[in-house]
Amino acid sequence: MQIYLDNAATTKMSKAAIQSMLPYMDEIYGNPSSLHSAGQKANEALNGARQRIANLLGCEAREITFTSGGSEADNQAIISAARLGEKKGKKHIISTAFEHHAVLHTLKRLEKEGFEITLLDVHENGIVLPEQVAEAIRPDTCLVTVMYANNEIGTIQPIKKIGEICREKGVIFHTDAVQAAGHLHIDVKEQNIDMLSLSAHKFHGPKGIGVLYVKKGIPLTTLIEGGAQERGKRAGTENIPAIMGMTAAFEEACKHIDENTKKLSALRNMLISGLSEIPHSILNGDAENRLPGNVNFCFEGIEGESLLLLLDDEGICASSGSACTSGSLDPSHVLLAIGRVHDIAHGSLRLSLSEENTQEEIEYTINAVKEVVAYLRSISPIWRDLVNGKKEFIIK
Ligand SMILES: *Cc1c(COP(=O)(O)O)cnc(C)c1O
């Protein structure tokens, strides 16, 4: 038995996505840049997919660039806005302290080049306020980049309002919507978004493919030089099978957003109330304003890695935060950003659900987590000190 509760790290591909890829690995394998009919068939599929993605985002096909995933889309969006700003002498960028590393590390690189980066506080509930963005914008601000939903604690940011503020002040607004796409409503026009990143493998599409939406009129900087694919902004033969799989998965996910939200949030709330019964535990991130499938807890007196390994023995695939930081001993920058101290941040658990999870799986998981936490505490010297009153509990 395996209970997969790590859908924020990646998802299983949907049957529709797999089916839609097969013809493009078999009969229709031409290079879309080739002039012969085999190439033109692939090119038609590519154009069709671009239009279908545009329809789902509420934009035009020419505003869609296919990338190798969310990381590349984030890099290209930020670098492009920075290069544009630089030309006008604007070298200030605003973001938040709990962005994905694809954003934060790109900003670090720009900082080394002389850009000034303001990272906004996200408060204990994991939500940045639009007023903070308004206050932080300066005459030399060239970009605001704030994620739509956080990948560790699932909190949803007021991006429409932030976009509105940026538009009023003439600053480009980018949002990393990798966790939101296919799970939350997106309409780039209505939400005042200038640039948006998404990645197929977070909504039951294939890995290694994503989208960068860029509002027309904003020139992109090329990260990969070569052929003239993607209007010369992203060289390399297009990954047609992956693009077709992503498009099918995105259409399917968007079509079922309402029913999936209903189902997932019911399971999520059940999981949250079950795990809240564990003494000295705390939910990370706002209880309501979070992704329908995200649960993230800290348990005092234990270590997240041991919790994960023992849950794996029980058949449960979970995460202590982001897959990208696991393997390092540093606590999650997201949990530190919402004010969890090191000791507490180390004892974290992220459970991220998909539509395939069942109520039985959630009940089993609640019991398993309760048992494993109790066991780890029973052998933890820190827990003994806490219980004996030698140390004070941080989570009451
Ligand atoms: C997964 C993720 C990314 C990276 O996407 P890849 O397609 O894996 O490169 C970026 N941002 C967020 C919020 C993510 O969850």
Which two structure tokens, joined as six digits, stand for 137? 């914008």
For ligand 1, mutation pick of 72, 78, 199 (most atoms within 8 Å of CB): 199
149 in Cβ contact with 155 (< 8 Å): yes
List CB contacts of 332: < 8 A, sequence separation 6 or more.
152, 320, 321, 322, 325, 345, 348
Which residues surround ligand 1 with Cβ inside 6 Å?
A: 69-71, 74, 100, 102, 147, 151, 176, 178-179, 199, 201-202, 210
166 is catalytic: no
Burial 134-145 (b: 16+ CB within 10 A, else e): eebbeeebbbbb
166 in Cβ contact with 144 (< 8 Å): yes
Q: What is the pLDDT of residues 16-34, one digit of tens each?
A: 999 999 999 999 999 999 9
Please report the domains of the chain, with CATH numbers, ordered by start residue: 15-255 (3.40.640.10), 257-387 (3.90.1150.10)
- The protein residue with its alpha carbon nearest to ligand 1, atom 14, reads 178
Residue 62, pLDDT > 70, answer yes
> Which of 141, 156, 48, 45 is closest to 98 using CA atoms?
156
Task: With cut-offs at 50, 70 and 90, classify the pLDDT of residue 323.
Answer: low
Task: With cut-offs at 50, 70 and 90, classify the pLDDT of residue 320.
Answer: confident
Q: What is the pLDDT of residues 146-201, one digit of tens each?
A: 999 999 999 999 999 999 999 999 999 999 999 999 999 999 999 999 999 999 99
> What confidence score (pLDDT) does residue 290 get?
98
Q: What is the pLDDT of residues 236-272, one digit of tens each?
A: 999 999 999 999 999 999 999 999 999 999 999 999 9
For residues 377 and 306, what is the distance between their CA atoms, to the nearest angstrom? Answer: 11
List CB contacts of 262: < 8 A, sequence separation 6 or more.
none
Which is catalytic among the residues 254, 298, 317, 324?
A: 324
Which two structure tokens, joined as six digits, stand for 268? 């999520």
> Which of 48, 45, 68, 74 is closest to 214 using CA atoms?
74
Q: Averaged over 358-385, what is the pLDDT?
A: 97
For residues 335 and 318, what is the distance between their CA atoms, to the nearest angstrom? Answer: 17
Query: How many Cα atoms within 13 Å fall on the side-chain side of residue 24?
Result: 25
For residues 243 and 46, what is the distance between their CA atoms, to the nearest angstrom? Answer: 7
Alpha helices in the chain (DSSP H): 15-21, 37-57, 70-87, 101-112, 130-136, 159-169, 240-255, 257-276, 304-313, 333-337, 342-345, 359-378, 381-387
> What confidence score (pLDDT) does residue 396 get?
87
User: Looking at this protein, which amino acid is placed at residue 57?
Assistant: L
In Å, what is the CA distance from 313 to each residue of 14, 71, 285, 294, 352? 26, 31, 28, 22, 18
Q: What is the pLDDT of residues 263-285, one digit of tens each?
A: 999 999 999 999 999 999 999 99
